[in-house]
Structure formats: C-alpha cells, structure tokens
Structure 1
Amino acid sequence: MKEYFGKKIFGGIAIGKISFYSKNQNVVVRKKTEDSEGEIARYEAAREKAIEQLHGLYEKALKEVGEMNAEIFEVHAMMLEDDDYNDSVKNIITSQKVNAEYAVGVTGDNFSEMFANMEDDYFKARSADVKDISERVISILCGKTSDSDIGDEPVIVVADDLAPSETVQMDKTKLLAFVTKFGSSNSHTAILARTMGIPALIGVDIDEEWNGKTGIIDGFEGKLIVEPDEAAMNDYVKKQEAAKEQKKLLQSLKGKDTVTKSGKQIKLYANIGNPSDLAAVVQNDAAGIGLFRSEFLYLEASDYPTEDEQLKAYKQVAETMAGKKVIIRTLDIGADKQADYFNLEKEENPAMGYRAIRICLTREEVFKTQLRALYRASAYGNIAIMYPMITSVDEVRRIKEISKQVREELVATGVEIGEVEEGIMIETPAAAIISDLLAKEVDFFSIGTNDLTQYTLAIDRQNSKLDEFYNPHHEAILRMIKMVIDNAHKEGIWAGICGELGADTELTERFVEMGIDELSVSPACVLPIRKIVRDMD
C-alpha cells in the first residue's frame, strides 16, 4: 500500500480500479504532394467537422455542467475560424507542397509556441488551446475517433492532464474520480469536476504501473491510496458509507430555513449561468438566485441578442422561481469572455481592461436594450438587477441616470414593470474601500470574491504557477469583506457574497459572524451550507 498526496479539487470518497488514460498521439509524417488543392479541400472538410464536433461538445456540456463551463468549446470553435491560423495551414500546403496533416501540425506548433512566449497569462493559456484544436483536426484527417472511452466498468481515471473536451466526453456513470499530474485548481477541467460532483486531485506524481490496480481517492484530505491493505479498505468503505448517509441527511434539510440557533436568518441563493440550470436550483432548494450570468445570451449568439430574445430568457427564470428573488447580473463580457461581433481589440491585460460595465457605459444602446428586457421581465416575477466591475460613485450615478431613462420610456408607452432592487458587485478593491459612499446609492451589495481576491493579491487566478501564492483566505480579503458588510448595514442595505468563497465551508461561520445577509453558491453547495448555518449558535 502506498499513499500519494495532491491538491484537492472536490471532496468525496471514491473506491475502484485505476485506469490510466493515455491520449491518442498523432504521429504526423511529412509527405510531398502535387495536389495542393486536394489537400486544402481535405483540410477544409476536417476543419468543418472539427467545428461541428466542438458545437456538439458545447451542447453536451451545456446540459451536463452549465453554460459557463461549456464556453471553452465555443472558444475552440472560434479559434478554428481564425484567418491567421487558416492562412498559415494553406500557405504551408501550397508553398511546401506537403500534406494537410503536416501543415496543421506545424501551424499548431508555431502558434502554440507564439502564445507560450507571450508575457500575458491569458494568452499563454491559449497555447494549450491551439494544440488541442490542432490535434483534433489531425485526428480527423487521420480517420481517428476522438471519443474518450474509459471502458465498461466504473474507474478512477489517472492522467497527465485532461482537456475539457476529454472530461465532458467521458461516460459519467463510469467515472468515479480523476487524478492528474498537471493542471490548475482554476482550470476548466477542475471546474467541471466540481460542477459534476466528482472527487478529483491534481498535482499528483502519477505512475502508469498503477493501471488496473485498486485505488482509493480521499477528496477531503487530497490523498490517493494505491493497493490499499485490508485495514485501509475497511476504513474507507465505512467513510464512504458515512458520506452517503451525510448526503441523505442533507436532503432532509429541504424546505427548512437557513437560520442559526440564535435566530440569525441567512438568504441562501444559487448561482446559475443559463435557464437550463434551473432544475438544479429547484432540486437543491435554494431560496432564490443570487447570480444569474446574463452574458450566456451574448456568447451563444452570432449577433447582439434582441430585446425580445433576452426578455424570453429572463421571463422564464422569473416565472420558474415563482416569486423568489432572481438577481440578474448585467452583461459581463470581455477579458476571457469574447463575442466576435463586439469587435473587442486584443489587450495586454484583459482582466483589467475593457469589460463589463465599462462596455455598457460606452455602448449605451447595447446596455439600454438589456435594461429594457430586464424591466419588462420584472412584471413576471421578483427580479433584481446587479451591475458588475464598479470602481466609482460616478459610474453608479451614470447607471442610475440611464436606468431611470429606460424605466420612464417604458412606462410612457404603457409597459408594466415591477418593483426592482438595484445593486452592485463589489469585486474591485476600489469599490470595497469606498463602499461607505457606494452604499448610499444602491439597494444591496454582492461581493464577487473571485475577482476581489485576484485584484487585491495581484495574482492571476488562472495561472497555475501561482497556485501556492493564491490564498483566498488571506486576512486582507476577509477584512475587506467585513468592511463592506459593515458599510452596507450602516446605510440600511443588505450585503451578500456570490463568488466561490461563499461556498467555502471553512469560512461559513466566519461570514455569519461578520453579519453577512446572503450567500449565493453553486446549487450543489446549498444544502451543505444550510446545515452549517443551522448548527451554529
């Protein structure tokens, strides 16, 4: 019996056979050909098929793990439509008179190296994406399938790394857990694991000799046991049963209030990225929706979504929640969330660039179209509006001017609108520090801890090299959250958390002690958080 440790991604106990997952490595051979037009036609056909596959993966991921996690496949499809990439492939085929496989391989290597050498971490991350799409096209040219077959029995998948496409394609009924050598806790694959509720570890020094052996994953302690002895096996069988019982216990909390023993009531809401996530919200008994990411409407479209198209989505969510609060965040596009028709220029530091409310305030007609749809939808349920990436009082006052104008125009034309709370996200240090001033202008605060942590610590949360420095429990973050809550209460408004930290059970009690009014988490985290709150004195 041997024990190995890694970074835990999702808790839980998994016991089963280890299956070492090896990627299909395409061996590309350089072949001379005089039929350049034929090779270009082969490439175009393979490229179209790859785009079709990626759209299929997007739809599959959309149903299984939600819109935010499915976005990567849309990004890959867009990369295959990039003129520079396609021109390079065709130029190599015609100028060197070589086969399409070789041209795609060379182009993939060249572009991957180009991205890897860039200073900006966002573009560095695109290096792996270019390799992934190039391998997909080469596989199609070689007549290979891209299915991620893990066999007929449930297994613990062990791999050097897993691309999001590979994770999504695996049969979830056969996937007990996964362990990888590489990857980041903020990678797309790690997020997929949390969304699907699969125990997972990263940063484990893996060995192909484990293939076929019995393994145990302890997702709570970040531990992998290979060939456990009888005592360890018995111990973990009991722990697994206890975890199942705990899950049953949590189900018994449905329909009960999220309130401490001393009577402190917490609004426990859910985060969603698409109306398709509503089933999980209802199933896990969330009291409302604390963050509805409206940008999915823009990312899925080939042109700006119309007012009526947006109304349909917002109305569906409002009606389904039947009077429960639905907080819809206005368009938060930019940075790593791109839509071609916005024609956003590439930026050296996109996380701090032209995004979110900065786009809305400089493209007012786009903003007004969304506001009109939101106010119209408010007649069908309990809708609140939340504005992201705020840094100043002037921004909030400008938003209020625009929203007032939109409301007055709607009322003047006889459109019915409901009572709408309007709040802002506190996700920049600037907003946190002046939260006493901002609280005078809005109905509520929702603290976006993902970006707040990133900006406060000056650490790119997508950069795996910085994982050891990325500390969301940093005292500076917690003091900032406390300050925001206090400033909100002084002005008589409520404050919540909608970032990943809201679901961190190690901090739930501290947040309640700080006086937090609301926590918005992924649907699967609602009942575990409710239990902690109800057990508090």
Structure 2
Amino acid sequence: MLSTLRRIVQEVGTARDLQAALDIIVRSVRLAMCTDVCSVYLYDDDADRYTLMASEGLNRKAIGRVTLSRSEGLVGQVGLREEPINLEDAASHPKFRYLEETGEERFRSFLGVPIIHHRNLLGVLVVQQAVKRRFDESEESFLVTMSAQLAGVIAHAEATGSLHIPSSSHEKPRQSRFMGVAGSPGIAIGTAVVLAPPADLAAVPEKETDDIDGEIQLFRQALCSVRDQMSRTAEKLAGSIPPEEQALFDVYLRMLDDNALGAEVETAIKKGQWAQGALREVIEEHVGHFEKMDDPYLRERAVDVRDLGRRVLASLQQQQAQEVTWPDEAVVISEELTPAMLGEIPRHKLVGLVSVQGSGNSHVAILARAMGVPTIMGAVDLPWERVGGRELIVDGNLGRVYASPAAELVSQYRQLIDEEQAFVEGLEALKDEPCLTPDHYRLPLWVNTGLMTDTVRSLDKGAEGVGLYRTEVPFMIRERFPSEKEQEEIYRDQLKAFAPKPVTIRTLDIGGDKSLSYFPIKEENPFLGWRGIRVTLDHPEIFLVQIRAMLKASAGLDNLRIMLPMISGVPEVEEALYLIHRAYHEVLSEGVDVQLPPIGVMVEVPAAVYQVKDFARRVDFLSIGSNDLTQYILAVDRNNPRVAELYHSFHPAVLQALQKVVNDAHKEGKPVSICGEMAGDPAAAVLLMAMGFDILSMNATHLPRVKWALRNIPLEHAKEILDDVMEMDNPRVIRSAVELALRHRGLEKVLAGRADVAG
C-alpha cells in the first residue's frame, strides 16, 4: 500500500489542474483498493452543499450535477462527524440517501472519509463495492491517508482560483486562509507579487502571455544555447570518460531536439503560458513519469531530465530577466525571501512580505521589523507560485495570510488599519513622558535592537535604555567573523547613541534558527543543541574578542551591560565570568581606562528558572527571554506553523515560571527584566508589571502602545487582574480575561493591533 500511495501522490503531483488531480485519485484509488467505485464530493461552505466532482464507477453524467445538503445522506454524515463511516450494507443505514442519477443502487458496501485541511472540511472521499462486506483496517487507513494528501491539493486549488464547484455562486476565487509565523507585526492589504529564485524549476510562477511568438523565439534561443554548451562539454571530455558515459551526451542532445522536449514546450506556450512556465510543466511531467518507473536505472533518469530543465531555464532567465510590474500596494511573496530580494523592491510600493520558508528570527524577518513592514514567515501551505496578481491580506500580528479575501473581511481589516494609524499618531505626544501609572508606580521601558535603524526608531519612541542588543545581527550580515576593531566600532555607535542610558549587549547567540554562513552548525535538533553560550564557551577566542571589543567601546561612556544567553547551569556562568574578567584585565593592560560593567544572565530554559538564586548570587541582574522560555516550557517550536497555535505566552506554566523568577531574584536583591515578545504586548505587559518586573524591553514599535496602556491602569488594579488569572488553567481564557479587563477600563485601543476578525 505504501508504494502504491507514493506512486499515486507522484502522479497527482504532475496533474495540470485540480480536476485532473481528482480524476487521477479516483481512478488510482479504485484500482489500488479493487473496489467498484471511488468518488470525491467537494463541500462548498457558502452554498452549504456537497457536489460530486469526480468518480470512477458511478454514472459520469452525474459528475458536477449531483449535490447533497450539509447533513444529507451518508456523505453528509461523514462530514458532520468528521470521521470515517464504514458500512457493509449502506442501504440499511437510517441516513442512507439513494441518488438515482448516479446509478449506485447496485453497490452495497460503503467507506467514506472526510477531507480536512487545517480543521476545515473540504469534502468527502468515498469507495463503494457491489459485494456486501466491511472494508478492513488497512483499507480504511489507506483511504484516510489518501484524503490527507487530497486535502492539500484542494486547499491549493481554492487559493489559486482553480477550484470551481458548479453549485457555487462565486465567480471569483473563494477566500482561503493560510497560517504562518508572525515575522513583523502589522496588517497589509495589497496585490501579490511573486519573486522566484534563479534556475529553480519548482519556483517558476504561472504567468499568461499574449506574445506567443516572442516567447517561442526566446525558448528556441535558450534551447540552442544549451545544446551548444552540451556539445562543447562532450568534446572537452571526449578523451577522459568511457564511451558509455560519452553516449549519455548524445541522449541529452536528442532530448533537447526541437522535435522532442522542444516541441512539447512550444505546444504549451501556444496555449498561452510564458516560456518559463511551459518549460516547468513539461519537465515536471517527464520527471513524474520517470519517477514512477519500477526499473531503478530508468527512475534515476528523472535526475537527468530535471538537470536539463534547469539548464534551459537558466539560459531563459538570462535573456528573459524577470520583469516585475509593481502595483502601488505590493505584497511580495517568495519561497524563501532573502535580504538581496528586499534590496530590489521599491520601498514606497512595498506594504507586506510573505515567505514560505524561514522563521520569525531569520535575517529577513529582522530586517522587515526594522523597516516596519508586516511580514509572515513559514507559510508552508501557501501555493506561492500561483497567487501572483491576487489580492492578499497579511496579518503580521496573528501570522495569517488571506488569499482572495471577501469584501467584508477586507473592510474589517481596512478599519483596523485606519484605527491603528490614528491611535499610533496620537501616541507621539507620550515620547518624552515617563511610564508612570495613575497610582504613581514607575516602570522603565527599554528596547531591543540589532540594527542602526532600530536605534534611530528607539530614540524617536522615547526608549529609556536597551534591554537587548543582538550582536548576532552584525555577524549575520558579513561573510566572515568581524574583527575586534570592527566590533568595537559597531558597539561604540550603539553605546554612544544611547548614552548615558544603559545598553545591554548580549554575547553572540547563534545556533537554533540563527546561523552564520561562514560558521555552519548542522544538527538534528538545533534548538536543543549547540547554541548561545555553549558555542562561545567552546570557542573562547570568539568570546574574548567580543568582550574586549565591548569593553573598549564603553570607554568614557560607562553605560555598558553584558548579558549571557542560553545559560542552563552555574558552571557556565562561572566560566563566562572568568573569561570576562580575563578580557577586562587584558584591556586594562593595554592602557584603556574602563570600568567592569554589570553582568547578567538570560533565563531562557526551564533549568535556569530553578537556579535563579544561585545565578543572582554571582551576577548583577537577570533578564528573561520569554520567547525561548515559552517554547522550552511548552515543548513547542515557536517557528513551526504546524504547532504555532500551541505556543502561548499566557499558558499557566509560563506565567508561574515568570513569577517564580521575579520572586527568587528579588529575594537576592537583584533586578529582573524581560526582553521577549511578551514585553511588547500591552495585555501581557499589565501582568508583567503586576508580577514585579523591574524593566520591560521590547521592539521599539510596541513601546508607545505599552506606555499608554500602563499609564492608564493602576498597579493595584493590574495586581487584581494577575491574581484572578493565576487561578485559571486555559491560556486562551487567560488572555480573554485580561483583554476584557482592559476593555472595561476603556483601554480597548491598545488591543486594536491584535484584534481577531471573522474568517
């Protein structure tokens, strides 16, 4: 069954549209399971009905015409229950509904499984047989697995507008929602512009053309160029490779002949597809055929065909540079956004970014936050290559992308954007005001930085200090480790810009999802591997250079604080302190007059939560990295969109851990700050203030909103809210309770940027 399933999936992957994919599935599943019938019923949420969209075994005239209501018949029951129904005698079931036009009266046994994608019901997959029998467990498992594969195909078709259900009243593509990871906050509404990486067949977007003759001419030139390259390579290697290997070049040249692959690509171009898209279609079809072959040698030829396709594509792209027509409000989408891509986009037209790959801490996400562009990373299910030109909503607050959104949803989001803009403009007056509650409690608000653009924005927002300067950013944008002198200049700029306000510089924190191209770390589980302080203690030469650079940069300013990331035990603290004191004495011996700065540790792993007292006796301050601490406590990868909904900072275990850290640190007389995303969330900030955090450090864009919220709620009231929610056991209920309390105090405006909307 496994090999059969793999073969069907490969064949479906070569289908040119959804209907072709459905036809392949019903035909292949019927053969694989040796049943008399296999059918697919798709559900239209707006019409609240199922439509028979494909079938092998039922009357073909019924396809596209037969419909069922949401609860009608056995198909309706499968959808309502959202689980398989397996019957040896379907007609005896009380919900059986006989459909005369399908010709199904002779089929007794019935097995139906729901087609579900991200909790949304898309349809029902059914097999039937004339003989009276119950399908066995392996058959049921096979059909469930097949429906899961089909769900992704249907969801993609919905997003690209290629799904057309005859009963639907919609003329335009239906609204589809895709989940990703919030990379940069904010909301954007615009037109999708797809950017594809070079010479990647799978990344070539679909695009129609009116200039068919021009596209054919470009393709022929590319084909001729690759043939010439191949011939020259064959001549060059003629004396150094065996005759049988030499013969392969002849095979490749024949495949590139105008009457072989060339003719098929030209046929596709004549149907209105641009040359690159036509090439991708033909190559993928041939690759699919080879991959399905049983003979291992022939299966390997799929690699050769794909390689030829890439060569022709590269030649095409050289002479056919991707001409992008930029709409006034462009949402740029790519399989993997890169910093270089950002440099090519007209900034005045860019409103949003979406990347299929990448995480919320990738370099692109960091740059997007610095630019203030709403961004979503890791939208793995978005059929990015097929959404060009469609209207999109990018919700960078909730990590959602809506393709072809309904007018009502667009209206709701536009209202949110307008409200947000008006509110933010009104906060500018608070820039020079302290964060002082109505009952006169003073809470310093600091910022997290990594680029000079962050620094400028932070000072403009009235930041009182830097709670986290990410030193990995300067390392990431280089092709080698920066020298001690280069680092000194970078840190000096940061310290000088904020002086005399304190600047907390974190030592190099690489590993996990933050990598350096010149210092690759490849591990099975990088988040539980070699990262943070573990790397730099293993490489004291890196650590010492960085500490010396920090100390020299602080000369005459004396506003430096050094922070150690990913600490999980006292020995790490003691070893790091030894190296810091060593670097300090080395700097003094060079004649640099500098003070030893305060040193702190980050509480990011559960082990650190229970050693706060031990840490506090050795360092000057503690700072909680709530992003990592939350993901480690909950065992949820915060950059994985498939489990993103399980990552919740308001989880009772997280709140209890935060309170414990504050209490234990204060017992030792040491201050505690927090520098994760929680600090920039007004609802969370209320709880953090009530817990007793001494400093909140956040992205500069969030600072005015948090300041406004805390200036409008007394500390005593915040403590009452905290007492109430600490008795609750559901993170969503906790968040709702906090937001409700803020609304009762007339503070709903601070929640506008996170407001959920229908859809």
TM-score by length of 1: 0.71
Residue 475 (structure 1) shift: 1.7
Residue number in structure 1 paired with 2:560:
383
Residue number in structure 1 paired with 2:583:
406
- SS at structure 1 position matched to 2:422: helix
Residue 444 (structure 1) shift: 0.8
Residue number in structure 2 paired with 1:151:
326
Tell me the distance in 1 between the aligned counterparts of 2:480 and 2:694: 38
C-alpha RMSD of matched pairs (Å): 4.2
Q: 1:318–1:380: 8 Å Cα contact kept in structure 2?
A: no
AA matched with 1:366: I
AA matched with 2:661: V
Go from structure 1 to structure 2 and tell me whether the alpha carbon gap of 1:194 and 1:413 turns closer, same or farther (over 3 Å shift): closer
1:110-146 CA distance string (max 9 Å, x none): xxxxxxxxxxxxxxxxxxxxx9xx9899546631566
Aligned residues: 451
Q: 2:392–2:401: 8 Å Cα contact kept in structure 1?
A: no
Aligned pair 1:173/2:348, yes or no? yes
Q: 1:432–1:480: 8 Å Cα contact kept in structure 2?
A: yes
Residue number in structure 2 paired with 1:35:
232
Tell me the distance in 2 between the aligned counterparts of 1:316 and 1:366: 21
- SS at structure 1 position matched to 2:554: helix
Q: 2:584–2:596: 8 Å Cα contact kept in structure 1?
A: no
Residue 193 (structure 1) shift: 5.2
AA matched with 1:36: T
Aligned pair 1:367/2:543, yes or no? yes
Higher mean C-alpha displacement, 182-191 vs 492-501:
182-191
Residue 255 (structure 1) shift: 0.8
Residue 429 (structure 1) shift: 0.9
- SS at structure 2 position matched to 1:361: helix
AA matched with 1:361: L
Residue 11 (structure 1) shift: 5.8
Q: 1:147–1:169: 8 Å Cα contact kept in structure 2?
A: no
Go from structure 1 to structure 2 and tell me whether the alpha carbon gap of 1:214 and 1:39 turns closer, same or farther (over 3 Å shift): farther
Matches within 5 A, 1:38-53: none
Residue number in structure 2 paired with 1:53:
none
Q: 1:136–1:146: 8 Å Cα contact kept in structure 2?
A: no
Residue number in structure 1 paired with 2:317:
142
Residue among 502, 506, 513 paired with 1:329: 506
1:335-354 CA distance string (max 9 Å, x none): 44344655x66322222222
Q: 1:184–1:464: 8 Å Cα contact kept in structure 2?
A: no
Matches within 5 A, 1:198-347: 198-199=373-374, 226=405, 228=407, 239-339=416-516, 342=519, 346-347=522-523
- SS at structure 2 position matched to 1:285: coil
AA matched with 2:647: Y
Residue 445 (structure 1) shift: 0.9
Tell me the distance in 1 between the aligned counterparts of 2:386 and 2:571: 62
Residue 297 (structure 1) shift: 3.9
Higher mean C-alpha displacement, 371-380 vs 489-498:
371-380
Tell me the distance in 2 between the aligned counterparts of 1:362 and 1:220: 38
- SS at structure 1 position matched to 2:347: coil
Residue 234 (structure 1) shift: 7.5
Residue number in structure 1 paired with 2:706:
529
Q: 1:269–1:521: 8 Å Cα contact kept in structure 2?
A: yes
- SS at structure 2 position matched to 1:528: helix
Residue number in structure 1 paired with 2:650:
473
Tell me the distance in 1 between the aligned counterparts of 2:592 and 2:328: 57
Tell me the distance in 2 between the aligned counterparts of 1:179 and 1:392: 38
Q: 1:4–1:204: 8 Å Cα contact kept in structure 2?
A: no
AA matched with 1:348: E
Q: 1:428–1:452: 8 Å Cα contact kept in structure 2?
A: yes
Residue number in structure 1 paired with 2:641:
464
Residue among 660, 671, 676 paired with 1:483: 660
- SS at structure 2 position matched to 1:252: helix
Go from structure 1 to structure 2 and tell me whether the alpha carbon gap of 1:304 and 1:536 turns closer, same or farther (over 3 Å shift): same
Tell me the distance in 2 between the aligned counterparts of 1:328 and 1:336: 20
Tell me the distance in 2 between the aligned counterparts of 1:209 and 1:275: 36
AA matched with 2:233: S
State the structure with more CA Rg. 2
Residue number in structure 1 paired with 2:19:
none
Residue number in structure 1 paired with 2:526:
350
- SS at structure 2 position matched to 1:384: strand
Q: 2:368–2:374: 8 Å Cα contact kept in structure 1?
A: yes
Residue number in structure 2 paired with 1:163:
337
AA matched with 1:511: L
Go from structure 1 to structure 2 and tell me whether the alpha carbon gap of 1:318 and 1:93 turns closer, same or farther (over 3 Å shift): farther
AA matched with 1:163: L
Tell me the distance in 1 between the aligned counterparts of 2:560 and 2:248: 59
Q: 1:435–1:484: 8 Å Cα contact kept in structure 2?
A: yes
AA matched with 2:360: N
- SS at structure 1 position matched to 2:435: coil
Residue number in structure 1 paired with 2:360:
186
Residue number in structure 2 paired with 1:428:
605
Q: 1:269–1:288: 8 Å Cα contact kept in structure 2?
A: yes
Tell me the distance in 1 between the aligned counterparts of 2:247 and 2:700: 53
Q: 1:329–1:388: 8 Å Cα contact kept in structure 2?
A: yes
Residue 151 (structure 1) shift: 2.2
- SS at structure 2 position matched to 1:460: coil
Higher mean C-alpha displacement, 417-426 vs 19-28:
19-28
Residue 402 (structure 1) shift: 2.1
Residue 434 (structure 1) shift: 1.0
Tell me the distance in 2 between the aligned counterparts of 1:95 and 1:276: 55
Tell me the distance in 2 between the aligned counterparts of 1:526 and 1:445: 21
Q: 2:471–2:505: 8 Å Cα contact kept in structure 1?
A: yes
Q: 1:21–1:150: 8 Å Cα contact kept in structure 2?
A: no
Q: Which has the higher contact order (CA 8 A, sep 6+)?
A: 1
TM-score by length of 2: 0.52
Residue number in structure 2 paired with 1:68:
none
| Residue ranges of structure 1 left out of the alignment (5+ in a row) | 41-91, 110-130
Tell me the distance in 1 between the aligned counterparts of 2:587 and 2:610: 35
Residue 385 (structure 1) shift: 0.4
1:409-443 CA distance string (max 9 Å, x none): 33344320035111011111111111121111111
AA matched with 1:173: H
1:365-419 CA distance string (max 9 Å, x none): 3222222221222224201000111111122122222222222333344320035
1:150-196 CA distance string (max 9 Å, x none): 524235x386866346566433322344678x668737566665554
Aligned pair 1:447/2:624, yes or no? yes
AA matched with 1:170: I
Tell me the distance in 1 between the aligned counterparts of 2:353 and 2:335: 10
1:42-79 CA distance string (max 9 Å, x none): xxxxxxxxxxxxxxxxxxxxxxxxxxxxxxxxxxxxxx
Tell me the distance in 1 between the aligned counterparts of 2:472 and 2:602: 15
Tell me the distance in 2 between the aligned counterparts of 1:208 and 1:391: 43
Q: 1:318–1:326: 8 Å Cα contact kept in structure 2?
A: yes
Go from structure 1 to structure 2 and tell me whether the alpha carbon gap of 1:96 and 1:453 turns closer, same or farther (over 3 Å shift): farther
